[in-house]
């Protein structure tokens, strides 16, 4: 094997995009103690840990109820099914999100109807929703993308006017707030994911639904266990989507730290913003903006690199061994499996532009300052170099 030793060898230690190890190390004794307890009891399904987590998540999100399930994807499917949304129904959502936002609508038997996004927040363009409403529309599914709540007031008005449910895809947004209210209580049902890289991540898959509607709760509960109401009596065609006791136990330990981690994510975002501004590179990149009356929990810190230069910047970062990621490179309306929905390239220009421009930088809560400095210095260098050909041409 040949090693090419770079000139600045000392400073090119890899900076991972995300590293879950330090978080675990900071709490391994407590986590392993509850894991041991679950194993000692051998109660892997249901039980006190799941009920405990449901109560604690409800308290955290300020919802009356919370129902655990196996993933954020299942939470979305079960929420739609519980609202009797299926065959022949339409659900309005965003094409700029993780795949499960739209696939869950299809899995429930309904049809996703996309509207374009707001280029500043990357969330659904709420001004475009009313025009997408048809007699078949049953619900709106806003996504609180990257940890920032969608603008809900216009959606509340439409839900009143047209009798529509709102199912929040809050998978990236636990603890995010809109007008002082938490994600999860901004619609009929809120759906959360505990995938390991979410702000509250488990030791595997997990999910949760929140609601204030007591009549929905029994249905949400039974849909996660094959529609069973006991004695093998099945009221609906549900699924097997229980939350493991092991996951619940681990998540209860981690939930206690969530606000500290959120503060660290916000501090990382703040620091990137200040440093990029001071370095004078805001002509090359656009910083994420926190919209009015929001608590942004920064599941991702995403900048925009316009004029088709994102991939170049990404290559330069990778060459400097700095992790970065693109969420999401292909909007949902252009995915092969949604071809039958009949959308075409150019239909949602803002979502398509965001897919070309977006770039997520390392911002996990334990990101060492030295690593963040490396990201900042490298970004500043790349952006200054970007400028040079233009200057020469001038």
Ligand X SMILES: *Cc1c(COP(=O)(O)O)cnc(C)c1O
Give me the residues that bind ligand X (CB under 6 A), please: 71-73, 97-98, 100-101, 143, 169, 171-172, 193, 195, 205, 207
- Nearest distance from C-beta of residue 124 to ligand X, angstroms: 12
Instruction: Give the Cα separation of 334 and 114 in Å (integer).
Output: 11
- Nearest distance from C-beta of residue 249 to ligand X, angstroms: 18
Q: For residue 88, how many other CB atoms are within 10 A of its CB?
A: 10
Choice between 202 and 365, CB closer to ligand X: 202
The distance of Cα 369 from the centroid of its chain, to the nearest Å, equals 24
Q: Which two tokens stand for residue 379?
A: 């970004």
Contact 209, 218 (CB under 8 A): no
- Nearest distance from C-beta of residue 2 to ligand X, angstroms: 40
Of 388, 385, 384, 379, nearest in space to 318 by CA? 379
Contact 298, 269 (CB under 8 A): yes
Choice between 300 and 316, CB closer to ligand X: 300
> What is residue 326's three-state secondary structure?
coil
Choice between 242 and 374, CB closer to ligand X: 242
Q: Which two tokens stand for residue 391?
A: 């200057």
Contact 206, 252 (CB under 8 A): no
- Nearest distance from C-beta of residue 94 to ligand X, angstroms: 9
DSSP-derived secondary structure letter, 135 = T
Choice between 249 and 285, CB closer to ligand X: 249
- Nearest distance from C-beta of residue 93 to ligand X, angstroms: 10
Choice between 103 and 372, CB closer to ligand X: 103
Choice between 104 and 372, CB closer to ligand X: 104
- Nearest distance from C-beta of residue 186 to ligand X, angstroms: 15
Instruction: Give the Cα separation of 266 and 270 in Å (integer).
Output: 6
Choice between 199 and 378, CB closer to ligand X: 199
Residue closest to ligand X, measured at CB? 72
- Nearest distance from C-beta of residue 212 to ligand X, angstroms: 21
Contact 142, 120 (CB under 8 A): no
189 phi, psi to nearest 5 deg: -135, 140
């Amino acid at each position: 094997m040949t090693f090419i030793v770079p000139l600045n060898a000392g400073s090119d230690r890899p900076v991972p995009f995300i590293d879950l190890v330090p978080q675990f190390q900071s709490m391994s004794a407590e986590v392993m103690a509850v894991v041991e307890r679950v194993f000692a009891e051998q109660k892997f399904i249901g039980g006190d840990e799941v009920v405990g987590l449901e109560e604690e998540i409800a308290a955290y999100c300020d919802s009356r109820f919370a129902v655990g399930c196996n993933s954020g994807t299942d939470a979305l499917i079960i929420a739609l099914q519980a609202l009797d949304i299926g065959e022949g129904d339409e659900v309005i959502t965003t094409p700029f999100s993780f795949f499960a936002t739209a696939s869950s609508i299809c899995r429930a038997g309904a049809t996703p109807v996309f509207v374009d996004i707001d280029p500043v927040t990357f969330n659904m363009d709420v001004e475009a929703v009313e025009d997408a409403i048809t007699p078949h529309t049953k619900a709106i599914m806003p996504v609180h993308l990257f940890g920032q709540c969608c603008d809900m007031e216009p959606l509340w008005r439409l839900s009143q006017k047209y009798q529509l449910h709102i199912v929040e895809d809050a998978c990236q947004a636990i603890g995010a707030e809109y007008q002082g209210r938490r994600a999860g209580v901004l619609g009929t049902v809120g759906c959360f994911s505990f995938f390991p890289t979410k702000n509250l991540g488990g030791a595997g898959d997990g999910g949760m639904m929140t609601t204030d509607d007591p009549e929905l709760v029994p249905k949400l509960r039974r849909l996660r266990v094959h529609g069973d109401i006991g004695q093998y009596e099945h009221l609906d065609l549900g699924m097997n989507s229980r939350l493991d006791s092991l996951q619940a136990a681990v998540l209860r330990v981690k939930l206690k730290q969530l606000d500290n981690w959120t503060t660290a994510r916000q501090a990382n975002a703040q620091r990137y913003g200040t440093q990029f501004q001071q370095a004078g590179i805001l002509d090359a990149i656009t910083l994420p903006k926190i919209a009015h009356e929001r608590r942004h929990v920064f599941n991702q810190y995403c900048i925009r690199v316009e004029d088709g230069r994102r991939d170049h910047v990404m290559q330069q970062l990778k060459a400097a061994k700095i992790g970065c990621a693109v969420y999401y490179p292909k909007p949902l309306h252009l995915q092969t499996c949604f071809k039958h929905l009949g959308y075409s390239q150019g239909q949602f220009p803002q979502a398509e532009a965001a897919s070309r421009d977006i770039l997520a930088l390392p911002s996990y809560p334990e990101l060492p300052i030295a690593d963040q400095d490396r990201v900042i210095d490298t970004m500043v260098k790349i952006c200054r170099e970007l400028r040079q050909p233009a200057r020469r041409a001038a």
